[in-house]
Amino acid sequence: MRGPYDTPKRSHVIKTRLDDDEYEFFLRKCQVYGMNQSEMIRSSLDKLVINPVIKFSSVNKESCQWILTCVYSIIFAEVL
C-alpha cells in the first residue's frame, strides 16, 4: 500500500558532509522554498549546471611553435 504521496519508491541514498555554514545555508534555502531536504536536492539536480574550469599555463613562443609543428605533422601524416 502506498502512502499519501504518489511518489516512486526510492532505493538509493546519497550522503555528504557539510560544515556549519553550508548546512545553515542549505536549511535556509529549504525553508525559503518550502521544501524538505530531499525535495531541495532533487530540484537542485534538475537545474544543475557545471561550468568547466580551463586551466592553462603560459609557455614561451618557441614551445608553442614546436608543439603545433608536432601536432600538424601527426595530422598530415595520417591524411597522406
The domain segmentation of the chain, as residue ranges, is: 12-49
76 vs 80: CA distance, rounded Å: 6
Degrees, nearest 5: CA angle 50-54-58: 170
What's this model's pTM, rounded to 2 decimal places? 0.51
Tens digits of residue pLDDT in 23-77: 999 999 999 999 999 999 988 888 877 776 666 666 666 666 767 777 767 666 6
Phi, psi of 78 (to 5 degrees): -75, -30
79 vs 69: CA distance, rounded Å: 15
Residue with C-alpha cell 518550502? 34
Residue 46: the pLDDT is: 82
